[in-house]
Structure 1
Amino acid sequence: MTAVTTGTPTPTPSVGRAHTRIEGRDKVTGAARYAAEVPFDGLAHGWLVLSTVARGRIRAVDAEPVLAMPGVLAVLDHRNAPRLDTDYIGLLGTRPDPTCAVFQHDRVPHRGWPVALVVAETSEQAREAAEALVVHYEQEPHDVGFRSGHPDAYALDSHGPAVTEKGDLAAQLAASAVVVDAEYTTPEEHHNPMEPHAATARWEGGRLEVIDSNQGATWVVGELANLFSLDPASVRVRSEHVGGGFGSKGVRAHQVAAVMAATVLQRPVRVVLTRRQMFSLAGYRSPTAQRVRLGADADGRLRALEHGSLSLTSTVHEFVESSAGAARVMYDADAHHTANRVVRLDVPTPTWMRAPGEAPGSFALEAALDELAEKCGLDPIELRLRNEPAKGPVSGLPFAGRNLPACFREGARRFGWADRDPRPGLRRDGRWLLGTGTAAASFPAGAAPSTATVTAHPDGGFTVRISAADIGTGARTALTLLAADALRVAPERVRVLIGDSDFGPAMIAGGSMGTRSWAWAVTAAAAELLDRLAHGTGIPPEGITVRSDTAAAIGALPPAERHSFGAQFAEVAVDTATGEVRVRRMLGVFAAGRIVNPLTARNQLLGGMIWGISMALHEEAVRDRASGGHVGADLAGYHVATHADVPHIEAHWIEDHDPRDPVGIKGIGEIGVVGAAAAVANAVWHATGVRHRSLPIRPDRVLTDTGGARPGTRTPPDGGAPDA
């Protein structure tokens, strides 16, 4: 046995210092292999065939001519595919989206529904055959038109009540000196991670192995085991490198189709989605129509707050974009009402997308607060500070830290807010009208049970194993730093292995809970290991391994409102002759708990803020009512912000320490996007005097809405929910 060599405390802790990514060199040199790049002997390739009608039935699939094409091995459809079990509740507490249960019936609920999988020896052969496959349909009338006030809308719970009501709304509105009553709309938006969705499935020794690009290997194991009626122990999912997810990389049709084909052919099968297919099969953010009513005293104190949101869902699965949830945390009022409603349409099922609910909800709420500040003659920051709640407006729980005022104070100092003339439409730079705006941000800081193992080796090194997912956030590096400090060694002595379901159950990379949850498990295991080493005589050749499970500790955490907070600031320039809006500079200041790695943390915050710019000015998926499909389902037709759209952007954070929190990490993957679009929209109002209540603020909308407008008097004529 080797003597214990845990090392002495490093001179400076690793956490809190900037570190480049552990896997950075592998990624930039191409050594890191993603899901579609891992080699397999005897690999076959599947290509999904999607429906070309928006509603109806499959009458026939002409598979015989395709089966005769070179290299084609099989055509799977509803007539011959393995049967699946969909009667279960999954890891996230919901039933599976039936879109995942492919080829189980002849119904077509939306355009882009998977109707067949063609499998061939090469990807090129599979694609050619899939495009040649003829499917006959019995077409039925469809409805894809989302609009405000849809008669079939209904309230839907989603990780919280659909409707909350406190106080007499009508009475408080009537007693208010100032009232804002407006509707705000956001369009359909898509994730578009750099790496398309891909999965390879194979059977080896009676065990199913899936190489996948996902946000949680144990999540995918559970869903596949349930769908195929397998023992979870007989399923292994590996997802070492993931090129982005943003909420889209859960369990999708391509993984299930790959497992089906591998089961039928008894050889490895890979299925990769094209960018165009992702617009139908990877989920998206639902459009929203949100009505916000605010009533306040003359000094800006809120008496009434109502935030109602309508989003869409598919006819086969319920998903709600819970935008009204933003108001349940940010501001209180004597009468406080919120509601999340949905309407079923013949469209694919929406899903979680970076800051689900909070991103569109903050646009409506923070734009309405800006309108209220204007009516009250108050500075927008001062109005928000006057309405800081002492406890959760709906929950009544205490805040486990609420440093939003400090974010605004620091942000105002850095941005030069004190020099701002509040009157709109006055500042010019040549042909450009200039304006500045601000908005608040919040996002929950939850945690979920996870397991981790830490092994001490005789050579003085340590190995951490946890089924975490690094979707580009730098999680692998953050866990290395956390483990190193917990073990009191340098990061170079710690090896972190992630993305393998065999490491045990762990929280997914989502909801800004990944690093917080995994860190809890890793540090707990490290602490126990150090204790064992301190009382032991040495380390055997096989090492000493300790396993942790945080379920009990998380369950014992006192109830509280735990959130990250932030203040967003934007300066824009608007050319009323061309309708162009440019963001000249943007600043975000955040209170997000303990920052593990400043380098990757700033990367995450800046990325979220850039997404907010993209949301405010560019992103909009348009659905054709006649066909039920998208217009321009690619990155040429779907516009996103690029380098030229972001000339100067800064992200900072303040001290945000909660001594009662055993982890101190709050998660920063989503807080950066919250409030960013509202800050840009509020700045456009300050520049032009025109309120834009519908995103994105396109040049044609600017041209339509600023012609002959007196500052502060006009609102866009298209303030209703979009038809697309």
Structure 2
Amino acid sequence: MTRHLKVDAPIPDSPLDHMAQGVLGKPVSRLEGPLKVTGRATYAAEARPEGLLYGVLVQAAIPAGKVLSIGDAPGAMVVIHDPRLIRYAAQGMATEGPTAGPDEVEYMGQAIAVVVAEALEAAQAAAQALQVTYEAKDVPVDPEAVEPERPEDKQSATGDLDRAMQDASHTLDQIWHTPSHTAAAMEPHAATAEWSGDTLTVRAGYQMLATSREQLADAVGIKPDQVRLLAPYVGGGFGSKLGINADSVAAAIAAQQLGRPVQVVMTRQQVFDLAHRRSETRQRIRLACDTQGKLTGIGHEALVSNLPGVSFSEPVTQATPFTYQAAHRQIVHAIARVHRSCAGSVRAPGEAVGATVFECAMDELAETAGIDPVELRLRNIPDTEPCTGRPFSSHKLAEALREGAARFNWSDRRPTGQRREGDWYIGMGVASAVRVNSLIESRARVTLQADGRAIVETDMTDIGTGSYTILGQIAAETLGLAVDRVEVRLGDSDFPPASGSGGSFGAASSGTSVYLACAEIRSQIAALIGCDEADLTLQNGQVRTGNVSRPLDALLTGELTGDGHLEPGKTEDTVRQATWGSHWAEIAVNRWTGEVRVRRMLGVFACGRVLNEKTARSQCLGGMTFGLGMALTEAMAHDPRDGHIVTRDLAEYHIPCHADVPPLEVHFLTESDTYVGPLHAKGLGELGICGAGAAILNAIHNACGVRVRELPATPDKIIAGLQS
């Protein structure tokens, strides 16, 4: 039987608050952890089916044009140049491929062919020696040099912002630039494909199996039910594995043509080229306030880029409409169509760069108005969503700011430039954290075996976030079992389709479907023992109702199966759902070298029910580290002549290393959001990055008076600021 829930109304009383097992929320270590640390958790590139061949991608050497011819590849079995490969790049959550003509190159580095050989080294050598001729054409590659599109549905205005700026006691009007970013997941993209008749099986790193299955079927030209995807272990994604990529398409086409399994693994440089980037941004922030610091005007203009014809554009201003109150508001969203690699979702698309810049602007306005930065934020938190008047499903920003200020000893902060330790300027900074929240349709199947053990099956993925453990805890809590008596099976498209991992909706969405499946089994257990489901207590493998108590395995005469089906409903529209927090940083700036050292960081977060304290904290630590990288080190550089990516590996694209990251402190606020389903849980994986970089940049200014508006804040920019 299937238990279905469409979240059309709040659920004030969560059934999970009345469960007796007591494992949900606890810091349970990852169930698959021993497999990973001993090397027994095999990833896509480690698959070794019999007869395996190796494919190496060939990339375009022009920014745009056509492929005219491809030469021979001595030492290789075959060179496959197929329109399906050249046209089907990373598609995020889309279910259909691009529609432009075959053989069209749209950016330098695009996959145009795959070379296949018996040995990887032979394929690599042949690919490097391959001669390709092109018909090149001139195309724009600089987002600042083209007239951008301004989609009508992405613009909004209320009141008269220009008048508010004229009449205000204090104003700010500044422009920030953020560079492109890459996800740079630990596991490079890889796919191993083999055919059995007309059925294709691909083992790869995917975040979302249900939509990736449709994409691959569309790319290869078969039906979705002819495709099976396997992704039991994924070494990170951060958005880059939301959809299929050239590795999957190339492996599938080659395996079909050659009648043998084919594996395609991207090099790190190819990952930078072919896995979509976060768009660079140019953001203009205008703020106006009265003498008391009450905002009267908010303007946020964003310019982003993408390839022609791609629907996605970085939603930079996503949180701006509801974070702070102001009567006069304007949102401008512009898209430059240029021939750089495809832009798509990278961890916390929108707020990661949008909230970071906006929170820097709030800090600057606070200084102009002579108001403490925390107090300025507190004075401008809205009671309802501005412009629409919708209530918030919950609102914890004020509490997060006050709690963080107390824990971080914000009262010890000194005015700009007044704290020195030898050659180091010391400063403290703050930023609000905000991220939209949503649920995604999700299904799961749970089987309770006759011996009292449970099996959870869903095509949900674990990309390092803890899905195996969290879903196991939900099932254990609901069925009254020890966690080690629950087996969680993930990452197989033959299982019921889940939400997938992305957008911070995975745990709450797939977790709710697992809970619903277990709740259906609870009703069957209640029928067996002869009571209402509400009168049933399951704990430690015992079934209790009233004065009756029996071992669960003694009560069962066979397997019980429940299916859970979650759908988002009216609460997605009737209330504004979001997660909240605050970021705090203390940094040191060297007066001679401009070096910035982060001394400590603190994050305070509200994300509804915390499903596992350990994995939740881990997500926040990762997000805060992402923010540190955004503020100080990370920048994807493009050649201005042809748009190709210059910083194509981890030697040139600088992510924070251990020495860059100080001890990080994470605290969770108690929150129960009744509008997000029976779990009362919301997204967390992306909240930790939203605003983290701003706290560091604001601390730099507090330390030495330098405002860096072109990220990242590298030493050369700090030195230039100190000199001026």
SS at the partner of 2:494?
helix
**Whole-Å separation in 2 of the counterparts to 1:260 and 1:84:** 12
**Whole-Å separation in 1 of the counterparts to 2:404 and 2:105:** 51
Task: Report % sequence identity.
Answer: 39
**Whole-Å separation in 1 of the counterparts to 2:212 and 2:722:** 50
Alpha-carbon contact 2:325-2:382 (below 8 Å) kept:
yes
What is the aligned-residue RMSD (CA, Å)? Answer: 2.1
SS at the partner of 1:588?
strand
**Whole-Å separation in 2 of the counterparts to 1:247 and 1:706:** 37
The one of 435, 443, 456 aligned to 1:443: 435
Q: Determine whether 1:274 maps to 2:274.
A: no
1:467-478 mapped onto 2 (5 Å cutoff): 467-478=459-470
Alpha-carbon contact 1:516-1:663 (below 8 Å) kept:
yes
1:107-186 mapped onto 2 (5 Å cutoff): 107-147=104-144, 150-156=145-151, 161-186=153-178
- When residues 525 and 554 of structure 1 are mapped into structure 2, their CA distance, relative to the original with a 3 A threshold, is farther
**Whole-Å separation in 2 of the counterparts to 1:454 and 1:503:** 11
CA drift at 1:555:
5.2
SS at the partner of 2:366?
helix
Partner in structure 2 of residue 716 of structure 1: none
CA drift at 1:10:
8.4
2:348 partner amino acid: A
CA drift at 1:90:
8.7
- When residues 511 and 557 of structure 1 are mapped into structure 2, their CA distance, relative to the original with a 3 A threshold, is closer
1:401-442: CA deviations, max 9, x gaps? 111111111101110001222x21111011001111100011
Q: Determine whether 1:360 maps to 2:343.
A: no
1:649-668 mapped onto 2 (5 Å cutoff): 649-661=664-676, 662-668=678-684
Alpha-carbon contact 1:576-1:702 (below 8 Å) kept:
no
Partner in structure 1 of residue 592 of structure 2: 577
Q: Determine whether 1:617 maps to 2:632.
A: yes
Structure 1 unaligned spans of 5+: 1-8, 710-724
Alpha-carbon contact 1:318-1:349 (below 8 Å) kept:
no
**Whole-Å separation in 2 of the counterparts to 1:96 and 1:617:** 36
1:585 partner amino acid: R
Q: Which moved more, 1:25-34 or 1:623-632?
A: 623-632
The one of 190, 206, 213 aligned to 1:198: 190
1:30-74: CA deviations, max 9, x gaps? 0000011122011111110001121222221112xx1xx33x221
SS at the partner of 2:133?
strand
Q: Determine whether 1:30 maps to 2:45.
A: no
Alpha-carbon contact 1:85-1:226 (below 8 Å) kept:
no
CA drift at 1:308:
0.8
Q: Determine whether 1:527 maps to 2:531.
A: no
Partner in structure 2 of residue 241 of structure 1: 233
Partner in structure 2 of residue 342 of structure 1: 335
- When residues 457 and 388 of structure 1 are mapped into structure 2, their CA distance, relative to the original with a 3 A threshold, is same
TM-score normalised by length of structure 2? 0.91
**Whole-Å separation in 2 of the counterparts to 1:471 and 1:397:** 34
Alpha-carbon contact 1:35-1:211 (below 8 Å) kept:
yes
**Whole-Å separation in 1 of the counterparts to 2:441 and 2:310:** 27
SS at the partner of 2:381?
coil
CA drift at 1:490:
1.4
**Whole-Å separation in 2 of the counterparts to 1:601 and 1:414:** 19
1:449-477: CA deviations, max 9, x gaps? 11100101011101010111110111110
**Whole-Å separation in 2 of the counterparts to 1:315 and 1:397:** 36
**Whole-Å separation in 2 of the counterparts to 1:324 and 1:382:** 23
- When residues 688 and 338 of structure 1 are mapped into structure 2, their CA distance, relative to the original with a 3 A threshold, is same
- When residues 97 and 183 of structure 1 are mapped into structure 2, their CA distance, relative to the original with a 3 A threshold, is farther
Alpha-carbon contact 1:164-1:394 (below 8 Å) kept:
no
The one of 695, 708, 713 aligned to 1:697: 713
Q: Determine whether 1:43 maps to 2:52.
A: yes
CA drift at 1:105:
2.1
The one of 380, 385, 388 aligned to 2:378: 385
**Whole-Å separation in 1 of the counterparts to 2:403 and 2:233:** 37
2:587 partner amino acid: V
2:161 partner amino acid: L
Alpha-carbon contact 1:84-1:227 (below 8 Å) kept:
no
CA drift at 1:395:
3.9
Partner in structure 1 of residue 532 of structure 2: none
SS at the partner of 1:360?
helix
**Whole-Å separation in 1 of the counterparts to 2:98 and 2:294:** 44
Partner in structure 2 of residue 76 of structure 1: 80
Q: Which moved more, 1:268-277 or 1:137-146?
A: 137-146
**Whole-Å separation in 1 of the counterparts to 2:482 and 2:662:** 37
CA drift at 1:572:
0.9
Partner in structure 1 of residue 318 of structure 2: 325
- When residues 164 and 557 of structure 1 are mapped into structure 2, their CA distance, relative to the original with a 3 A threshold, is closer
1:263-308: CA deviations, max 9, x gaps? 1112211111100001110011111000000011111111110001
**Whole-Å separation in 1 of the counterparts to 2:244 and 2:251:** 12
Alpha-carbon contact 1:156-1:320 (below 8 Å) kept:
no
1:162 partner amino acid: K
1:248-647 mapped onto 2 (5 Å cutoff): 248-249=240-241, 250-421=243-414, 423-536=415-528, 539-541=556-558, 543-551=559-567, 554=569, 559-647=574-662
2:130 partner amino acid: L
Q: Which moved more, 1:161-170 or 1:586-595?
A: 161-170
CA drift at 1:151:
4.5
**Whole-Å separation in 1 of the counterparts to 2:195 and 2:33:** 32
1:269 partner amino acid: V
Structure 2 unaligned spans of 5+: 1-17, 530-554
1:95-142: CA deviations, max 9, x gaps? 5356xx9xx722221100112111111211111111111101222223
Alpha-carbon contact 2:21-2:477 (below 8 Å) kept:
no
**Whole-Å separation in 2 of the counterparts to 1:327 and 1:555:** 23
CA drift at 1:12:
5.1
Q: Determine whether 1:677 maps to 2:693.
A: yes
Alpha-carbon contact 1:57-1:108 (below 8 Å) kept:
yes
Alpha-carbon contact 2:21-2:476 (below 8 Å) kept:
no
CA drift at 1:670:
0.4
**Whole-Å separation in 2 of the counterparts to 1:61 and 1:588:** 53
The one of 34, 54, 70 aligned to 2:63: 54
CA drift at 1:207:
1.5
**Whole-Å separation in 2 of the counterparts to 1:170 and 1:475:** 48
**Whole-Å separation in 2 of the counterparts to 1:412 and 1:616:** 21
CA drift at 1:691:
1.2
CA drift at 1:697:
0.3
**Whole-Å separation in 1 of the counterparts to 2:151 and 2:237:** 25
1:195-215: CA deviations, max 9, x gaps? 000111111243111111010
**Whole-Å separation in 2 of the counterparts to 1:83 and 1:705:** 48
Alpha-carbon contact 1:90-1:222 (below 8 Å) kept:
no
SS at the partner of 2:45?
coil
Alpha-carbon contact 1:466-1:499 (below 8 Å) kept:
yes
**Whole-Å separation in 2 of the counterparts to 1:251 and 1:671:** 25
SS at the partner of 1:383?
helix
1:8-23 mapped onto 2 (5 Å cutoff): 13-23=22-32
Partner in structure 1 of residue 97 of structure 2: 96
- When residues 398 and 540 of structure 1 are mapped into structure 2, their CA distance, relative to the original with a 3 A threshold, is same
Alpha-carbon contact 2:620-2:666 (below 8 Å) kept:
yes
Partner in structure 2 of residue 6 of structure 1: none
Report how many residues are paired.
680
Q: Determine whether 1:225 maps to 2:217.
A: yes
The one of 163, 180, 201 aligned to 1:188: 180
SS at the partner of 2:520?
helix
SS at the partner of 1:614?
helix
